[in-house]
Structure 1
Amino acid sequence: MQITIAEHSAHPLTVSRIGYGTMRLTGPEIWGEPADRPQALEILKTAISSGVNFLDTADYYGEDVTNRLIAEALHPYPQDLVICTKVGATRRPDRSWAPYNKPENLRAGIENNLRTLQQEQIQLVHLRLIGHGPVPLAEQLGAMFAMQREGKILHVGLSNVTRAELEEGLQLGTIATVENMYSYAQRTTVELAYGTNPGGEEVLDLCEQHGIPLIPFFSLIHGLPKAGIKLTEITKKHNATEAQLNIAWLLHKSPWILPIPGTSSLAHLRENLKAADIKLSAEDMAFLG
């Protein structure tokens, strides 16, 4: 199974339908070095050798931890590998999250990602919206598109966006991808300690209409504890875990969804990738709702 990013552009990117999100490779609270650095490097290498060619990262993971791990494990990169990073947020000394979205901040973020990932151009960058600061979306995206014209970015995406923000973004330029929280059990907006997270359900139809891959984040962390008995019943039918069924549900929900389940366990990585083999019937999907 594959999906194409920016399929109508001069530089489309075709990747496997299951990617890997690197956030969980960091220490506690998404900060600091991994508890088991050799395993973290092996996870990245195993993901790629298993057919994954889409990695999601950010320089504020760690800080810079996941970017440095990616470069150490995989550079020089395979030709078909797509590394997606994010800008627009930063971490305070107390490890809280804050907007970092002025044009000069976004440029600094891109330059830092280029340096730590050892790249001359980043294939895909998500503008992460966090909070409702004074910088208008048009000004933020304007800075992103300017760096795209300079060749620092190949494609621009949006992360953590409401339907209205995505509609505005589509009026301002070409949006290649959208990354929102989304899972079987968590489909709509949720309030977390660091702010509001719009759900994937409210933008999925827009993504489908415009041929924009929707990349769900946190699908295994926040969704499964309240998934309910229906998911449990289907796991028994397919002899699978709830995590695998959540990924399978996303894959069957729409051909425009690109899951990026993250883990700090090599065993769980292999388990997650097997979700691509699960075939949910129309009856299964109707039962799950």
Structure 2
Amino acid sequence: MLTFSSTLKSTITIGANTAQPLTVNRLGYGTMRLTGSPQIWGEPADRPQALQILKTAVEEGVNFIDTADYYGRDITNRLIAEALYPYPNNLLICTKVGATRADDKSWVPFNRPDELRISIENNLRTLKQEQISLVHFRVMPNSGIPFEESVGAMFNLQKEGKIQHVGLSNVTRAELEQGLDLGNIATVENMYGYSQRTTFDNGHGENRGGEEILDICKAHQIPLIPYFSLYTSLPANADKIMQIAQKHNVSVAQMNLAWLLHRSPMILPIPGTSSLVHLKENLQAAAVELSAEDMEFLG
């Protein structure tokens, strides 16, 4: 089998300012696309391939896997446990809470303290773990539950030993600053990619992207974990990224990942895919070396 593990040569530390820092390779895998498409619901179309993707990712050096119990309603968690349990000692499984799926397949808030506890207990059970290494609280705007109440519940669950590190997802700059006042924030997971530097939520008038919080992450040694990084990697006017991709003989998607890896050492991309071929292509992006001139050209 062709191996790419040697390309995953750079690492990042989660919880650098805590007594229990965790170091992982700086290209992870996001599992959302393993569920039934297009609604992220139910079993994958090709279940054997989904299991093989998880196994291959770990074999090739990926030791950070992102999941959530609301992906297909426990589908990705169960796939992870089936494919990888008992887990390698260096594997960090990160999950998210704060949302759930209704019977009509809609995404709804699930962020009251009692609901967060239910989610954590469910993740522990389906992932077959006694403690989850990293849990992101996913903000659902205008949910009716104060941000500090939900985040406070996360830190209480951490004190009970159910969570090792607490992270935030889909946050504004103000929410991240508020979170830092409440406790140690280990990571932030926001939408971010070459063509999606900032995310403006028209419905609520707030920016929830990566660019607007990257400076805070750098200052506090908080890894920024971009989601949907490949989903937004093909803008209509992609001339610059296409030129640099052609120069390095890689795809635009691979160049998007390379750009993220070079944008800041505090960025941990987690590209997701339901294709074994695309998984291997994504891993190859870690070997792309961009010059200062390349990065200046890309902007």
TM-score in terms of structure 2 length: 0.94
Could you list the runs of 5+ residues in structure 2 that have no partner in the other structure? 1-9
Equivalent position to 1:221, from 221, 225, 231? 231
Query: Within 5 A, what are the aligned runs for 1:89-168?
Result: 89-168=99-178
Secondary structure of 1:279 counterpart: coil
Query: Is 1:19 equivalent to 2:31 in the alignment?
Result: no
Gaps of 5+ in 1: none
Deviations 1:243-264 (A, max 9, x none): 1000000000000000000000
Q: CA deviation at 1:32?
A: 0.4
Taking the aligned partners of 2:167 and 2:257, their CA distance within structure 1 comes to 22
Map 1:1-289 → 2, pairs under 5 A: 1-28=10-37, 29-191=39-201, 198-226=208-236, 228-289=238-299
Asked whether the 8 Å contact 1:131–1:196 carries over to 2, the reply is no
Q: Does the 8 Å contact 1:160/1:197 carry over to 2? A: no
Identity within the alignment, %: 68
The letter for the 2-side match of 1:242 is V
Range that drifts further, 162-171 or 184-193:
184-193
**TM-score, scaled to structure 1:** 0.97
- Native 8 Å contact 2:136 2:168 kept in 1: yes
Q: Once the 2 structures are TM-superposed, how far is the Cα of residue 137 of structure 1 from its aligned partner? A: 1.1
Runs of 4+ in structure 1 over 6 Å off = none
User: SS at 2:235's partner residue?
Assistant: helix
Letter in 2 for 1:254: S
Provide the aligned length of Structure 1 versus Structure 2.
289
Q: Deviations over 1:8-41 (max 9, x none)?
A: 2111110000000000000021100000000000
Over aligned residue pairs, what C-alpha RMSD do you find? 1.5
Query: CA 1:257 to 1:227, structure 2 compared with 1: closer, same or farther past 3 Å?
Result: farther
TM superposition shift of 1:192: 8.8
